């Protein structure tokens, strides 16, 4: 079971609403939604917005309540071996406008850049700002990924540690992303 240290949210957590929110957030289906959103590199609460609104209606709209939800979600995910990746990620929805994103501790964030004259030519690096990329092409920013699954499916990377080592030594790794499906 999960433990919660309410810290600055002690009085709100002790209320009926606080207890109901904690009970809701620790349900196995809700934890699964938090983890699924995190696996997709989305803020965790994006996975439960509709359920929060359905369960708590207007009660969830108060800023202090939303802050406590974020505090609770962080502790739940940390107990499931997730780490904070980024705070204040913009969320385009109700009830949240900003939220935290989490990642697995062993995930490494990489950035992908496309060759502007050949979009299937991609350079992967660990730096978005001032990356060391091949000088023989012009590069435009394409995507960020941390999940080994995304690395494998989107870029054909089977060994994330090997990618990390190659990027550490050379500054980037160039990959060719071939078309997966053809029209009949």
Boundaries of every domain in the chain: 7-103, 110-176
Q: Classify residue 22 as left (phi > 0), alpha (psi -120 to 50) or beta.
A: alpha
Where does the pLDDT of residue 182 fall: very low under 50, low under 70, confident under 90, or very high at 90 and above?
Answer: low
| β-bridge pairing 98-104 and 110-115 | unpaired
Per residue in 120-164, pLDDT (tens digit) is 999 999 999 999 999 999 999 999 888 888 899 899 999 999 999
Task: Tell me the mean pLDDT in the region 35-45.
Answer: 93
Closest CA to 41 of 184, 168, 146, 173: 146
pLDDT at position 92, please? 87
pLDDT at position 181, please? 59
Closest CA to 144 of 107, 171, 177: 107
pLDDT at 106 over 90: no
Per residue in 45-100, pLDDT (tens digit) is 999 999 999 999 999 999 999 999 999 999 999 999 999 999 999 998 899 999 99
């Amino acid at each position: 079971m999960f433990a919660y240290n309410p810290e600055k949210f002690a009085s709100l957590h002790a209320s009926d609403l606080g207890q109901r929110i904690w009970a809701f957030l620790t349900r196995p289906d809700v934890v699964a939604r938090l983890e699924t959103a995190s696996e997709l590199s989305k803020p965790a609460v994006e996975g439960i917005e509709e359920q929060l609104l359905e369960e708590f209606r207007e009660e969830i709209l108060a800023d202090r309540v939303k802050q406590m939800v974020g505090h609770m979600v962080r502790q739940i995910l940390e107990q499931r071996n997730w780490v904070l990746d980024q705070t204040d990620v913009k969320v385009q929805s109700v009830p949240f406008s900003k939220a935290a994103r989490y990642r697995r501790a062993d995930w490494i964030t990489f950035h992908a850049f496309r060759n502007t004259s050949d979009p299937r030519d991609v350079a992967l690096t660990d730096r978005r700002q001032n990356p060391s990329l091949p000088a023989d092409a012009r590069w435009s920013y394409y995507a960020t990924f941390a999940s080994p699954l995304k690395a494998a499916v989107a870029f054909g990377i089977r060994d994330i540690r090997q990618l990390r080592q190659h990027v550490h030594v050379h500054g980037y790794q160039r990959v060719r992303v071939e078309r997966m499906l053809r029209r009949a």
